[in-house]
Chain A
Amino acid sequence: GNSVTQMEGPVTLSEEAFLTINCTYTATGYPSLFWYVQYPGEGLQLLLKATKADDKGSNKGFEATYRKETTSFHLEKGSVQVSDSAVYFCALSDFGGGSQGNLIFGKGTKLSVKP
Chain B
Amino acid sequence: EPEVTQTPSHQVTQMGQEVILRCVPISNHLYFYWYRQILGQKVEFLVSFYNNEISEKSEIFDDQFSVERPDGSNFTLKIRSTKLEDSAMYFCASSKRDRGSQPQHFGDGTRLSIL
Q: How large is the interface on A (under 10, 10 to 19, 20 to 34, 35 or more residues)?
A: 20 to 34
Residues of A within 8 A of B31 (CB): 101
Q: Are B98 and A101 in contact (CB under 8 A)?
A: yes
A88 within 8 A of B: no
* Cα-based distance from A44 to B91 in the complex (angstroms): 8
- Residue A102 contacts which of B6, B33, B106, B107 (CB distance < 8 angstroms)? B33
A17 partner residues in chain B, CB cutoff 8 A: none
Contact residues of B between 84 and 115, Cβ < 8 Å to A: 91, 93, 95, 98-109
Assembly CA distance A93 to B45 (angstroms): 11
Indicate if the CB atoms of B106 and A45 lie closer than 8 Å.
Answer: yes
Measured CB to CB, the closest approach of chain A to B102, in angstroms, equals: 7
8 Å CB contact of B109 from A43, A51, A91, A102: A43
A95, A100, A105 pick with most chain B CB within 10 angstroms? A100
Judge whether B91 and A96 touch: CB under 8 Å. Answer: no
Across the interface, which residues of B come within 8 angstroms of A101, CB to CB?
Answer: 31, 48, 95, 98-100, 102
Does B43 belong to the interface (CB within 8 Å)?
Answer: yes
How far apart are the CA atoms of A89 and B63 in the complex, in Å?
29
Not counting A43-B6, A89-B43, a sample of 8 additional A-B residue pairs whose C-beta atoms are within 8 angstroms of each other reads A36-B106, A44-B106, A46-B104, A94-B100, A99-B100, A100-B98, A101-B102, A105-B44
Binding site for A on B (CB under 8 A): 4, 6, 31, 33, 35, 41-45, 48, 55-56, 58, 91, 93, 95, 98-109
